[in-house]
Amino acid sequence: MSDDTGMHRNDEPSAAELDRVRALLAGLGEEPAPPEVVVRLERVLDAELPQPGAAPGRRQRRWLRRGALGLAPVAAVAAVVTILVVRPGGDSGSERAAPPPASVAAAESADSAASAAAGAATLAAPAGSGAADAATGTAFSQQGATDDGAARSAAPSPTSAAKASAAEAAPTPAAIRASAIAAYRETRRALLARRAP
Amino acid sequence: MSGRAGTDEDLVRRAQRGDRAAFDELVVRHRDRVYAVTLRLTRNPADAEDALQDTFLNAYRGLGRFGGRARVSTWLYRIAANASFDVIARRRVRDEPLDEGAHAPAAPGDPYAQSAERRALERALAALPDEFREAVVLCDIAGLGAGEAAELLGVPAGTVKSRVFRARALLASALREPDAHDPVETSG
């Protein structure tokens, strides 16, 4: 881009003229904006920006959401580990010493998978308020910190009929693992979708 | 700029903590000059108003990124210039000459604003090549330094200085011409 304006040397203004131009330009910046422009600006700002006192809440919700997102992988990994490591041995030490029959173990495995899926569904549900965000974050930390028994207590217990059905289906450890991984992915997808503005 | 409510930097710090009133005070202090800048950059009152609104919305949303390394006014006018360029790009400017009747923001009774010299300046400013007008608006109306304007315009600081000098010279020449002081006055 050329800066050649074609101005001849004898056209060049004096220093006084240049100063005058500078002063005039500075004066343009001092002029008030038209009142109707000001009114519309205020209206737009009132409509678009949070009212006084609203900003901290919004910021707090954002941090809670970030916290929940940060805990999501940890909680999911903890759930998978819990399912894969604790389940085959039973819930308590005494039960571990005497493993239950295969059909009962299968039923409990199905119970655990159902529990994980229910937890994931809870977390994936859209939350429209800060309280919901907080609840989600809490759910994550609880699920990450508790053993499978506590996690199971948070989910609806399957009926005996369902247990029998699950026992007939007899899911394999691979199926349980796949189910847990699917639940984790679903949770993560839902949270990422919520994070998008 | 400072006042009863504190300096611009104080206001920004308060606004960063969620004080909307502080941000509103910042708007009041700068809206006139920001409008003056967007009007001369876009050369269209409707686009200028859009850019003005975008400026303060973007400023509010960008409060967290303002680290205090630049002056608040510099930060704001940079946002204003970018908003103006965005508006120009979005609407592919109609390239109309400045409609003085529509834009004149002068207060009634302001002798300077009513003067023929001012009108002549507006016309000459609108007639400047874009790169000259942008440079002189950013430096002489917005008050940015050559380096700041250069960063915004994506050219070396020396180029900005040269353009500003040339722009002032062209404006001075335009004001010197006998018919510069426009027919509005003589017709009245």
Cβ-defined contact of B166 to A3 (cutoff 8 Å): yes
Fold of domain B1-105? Rna Polymerase Sigma Factor; Chain: A (1.10.1740)
Q: How far apart are CA B26 and CA B12, in angstroms?
A: 8
Give the residue on A whose Cα is nearest the Cα of B33: A29
Q: How far apart are CA A60 and CA A69, in angstroms?
A: 14
CA atoms within 13 A on the CB side of B28: 10
CA B70, B76, B81, B86 torsion: positive or negative? positive
Instruction: List CB contacts (< 8 A) between B121 and chain A.
Output: 21, 24-25, 28
Both structure tokens of B10 = 């104080």
- Give the minimum alpha-carbon distance from B106 to chain A in angstroms, rounded to a whole number: 6
CB B107 within 8 A of CB A32: yes
* B58-114 residue pLDDT tens: 999 999 989 888 889 889 999 999 999 999 888 765 555 545 444 444 444 555 555
pLDDT in the model for residue A66 = 60
With H, G, I as helix, E, B as strand and everything else as coil, classify residue B4. coil
Please check the confidence at residue B4 and state whether its pLDDT lies above 60: no
% of chain B residues with pLDDT over 90: 58
Cβ-defined contact of A20 to B132 (cutoff 8 Å): no
* B23-65 residue pLDDT tens: 999 999 999 999 999 999 998 899 999 999 999 999 999 999 8
Could you tell me if A50 lies within 8 Å of chain B, comparing CB atoms? yes
Q: Is B154 left (phi over 0), alpha (psi -120 to 50) or beta?
A: left
Domain ranges of chain B: 1-105, 110-178
Could you tell me if A32 lies within 8 Å of chain B, comparing CB atoms? yes
Scanning the structure block, which residue is given the tokens 């997102």?
A69
Q: Is B132 left (phi over 0), alpha (psi -120 to 50) or beta?
A: alpha
Q: DSSP class of residue B1?
A: -
- Give the minimum alpha-carbon distance from B105 to chain A in angstroms, rounded to a whole number: 5
Could you tell me if A23 lies within 8 Å of chain B, comparing CB atoms? no
pLDDT in the model for residue B76 = 93
Q: ipTM value of the model? A: 0.81
User: Residue A173 — pLDDT band, cuts 50, 70, 90?
Assistant: confident
What count of CB pairs under 8 Å joins A to B?
Answer: 131
With H, G, I as helix, E, B as strand and everything else as coil, classify residue B12. helix
* A79-125 residue pLDDT tens: 887 777 766 554 444 444 444 444 444 444 444 444 444 444 444 33
Residue type (1 letter), A94 = S
Scanning the structure block, which residue is given the tokens 């639940």?
A183
Mean pLDDT of A35-46: 95
- The torsion angles phi and psi of B36, rounded to 5 degrees, stand at -60, -40
B110-178 to CATH, choices 1.10.10.10, 3.40.50.2000, 1.10.3720.10, 3.40.640.10: 1.10.10.10
Could you tell me if A101 lies within 8 Å of chain B, comparing CB atoms? no
Mean pLDDT of A31-60: 80
Q: How far apart are CA B118 and CA B104, in angstroms?
A: 10
- Give the torsion through C-alpha atoms of B68, B69, B74, B77, to 10 deg: -70
pLDDT in the model for residue A118 = 43
CB B24 within 8 A of CB A45: yes
pLDDT in the model for residue A151 = 34
CA atoms within 13 A on the CB side of B122: 29
- Give the torsion through C-alpha atoms of A57, A58, A60, A65, to 10 deg: 140
- The torsion angles phi and psi of A127, rounded to 5 degrees, stand at -115, 125
Facing residue for B105 by CB, picked from A11, A26, A31: A31
CB A37 within 8 A of CB B51: no
Q: How far apart are CA A105 and CA A89, in angstroms?
A: 9
Q: How far is CA B34 from CA A35, B81, B82, in A?
A: 14, 9, 12
Residue type (1 letter), B42 = T
